[in-house]
Amino acid sequence: MFKFTASEVRDLIIAFIVISLCFAIANAGRDINAILYLLPMIMVGVGAGFILHELGHKFVSMKYGYWAEFKLWPQGLIFALITSFFGFVFAAPGAVYTYANYMTDEINGKISIAGPIVNILLALIFLAICIAIYPSAFHSQTSVLILNICALGYSINSFLAAFNLLPIGNLDGSKVLRWNIGIWLIIFAIAGLMTLMSMTIGVENIIRLIIGI
């Protein structure tokens, strides 16, 4: 059963708002009107991606009987804001801390990989919605709006998965790599390919490739 402290809920909300703003700035540059236009749409992808990523860590930790709690990293939020003005988001606003006297590399790896897997699954769900709604987007403004939201959701969640799987510092990738290099390679390759495709050919072209247009 999930249990949240008041400070944990506060930290999650703050991190969610700031990271959403960071992705809006990274995508819109310094155009205030563009930022305000993109922010609500981006909050859907970041809301699902960031919150469920952290809850993935928390759920697996608690499944193994550990207490786990998300804590904000203020320096990480500031750094994310700074990098967003350069078109890139260093998305490390905080982390789920698992409290345990002892933890094997395997358990730590499974807890760590849960978040990126959630992001990959969410990205695929957003892409599936894009594919389903794409034909109607040619004659429906509502469909266009949903398509744009889901395209951003795909791109953001792919990026969050790939970024967190980098084997550097205290990111998830370091712990997964220490547990099982084969699993890390497979999951990182999937997340990396999804991110690369969204950044190079774009989500609409991915949709066209899949449906054969």
The pLDDT, as a whole number, for residue 2 is: 66
- State residue 95's pLDDT score: 83
Query: Which tens digits make up the pLDDT trace of 37-94?
Result: 889 888 888 888 888 998 899 999 988 888 888 898 889 888 888 988 888 888 788 8
Q: What pLDDT, on a 0 to 100 scale, did the predictor assign at position 1?
A: 59
pLDDT of residue 90: 82
- Going by pLDDT thresholds of 50, 70 and 90, the confidence category of residue 181 is very high
Q: What angle do CA 117, 119, 120 make, to 5 degrees?
A: 65
Contacts of 78 (CB under 8 A, 6+ apart): none
According to DSSP H, which parts of 29-104 are helical? Answer: 32-46, 52-63, 74-84
Kindly report the three-state secondary structure assignment for every residue of 17-47. Answer: HHHHHHHHHHHHCCCHHHHHHHHHHHHHHHH
Q: What is the mean pLDDT of residues 133-139?
A: 86
pLDDT band at 213 (very low <50, low <70, confident <90, very high): low
Mean pLDDT of 33-37: 89
Give the whole-number percent of the chain exceeding pLDDT 70: 99
Residues 6+ apart with CB under 8 A from 194: 120, 123, 154, 158, 161, 162
Task: Please state the φ and ψ torsions of residue 47, each to the nearest 5 degrees.
Answer: -60, -50
Per-residue pLDDT for 212 more than 90?
Answer: no
Q: Which of 161, 150, 58, 180 is nearest to 117 (CA)?
A: 161
Q: Which residues contact 28 (CB under 8 A, 6 or more apart)?
A: 34, 35, 37, 38
pLDDT at residue number 140 = 86
Asked whether the beta carbons of 8 and 69 are under 8 A apart, the reply is: yes
Out of 54, 69, 106, 204, the active site residue is 54
Active site residue 54: yes
Highest mean pLDDT among 10-14, 76-80, 123-127: 123-127
Q: What is the pLDDT of residue 100?
A: 79
pTM of model > 0.85: yes
Cβ neighbours of 37 (radius 10 Å): 13
Over the chain, what is the mean pLDDT?
Answer: 90
Q: Residue 193 has what pLDDT? A: 96
Q: Assess whether pLDDT exceeds 70 at residue 188.
A: yes
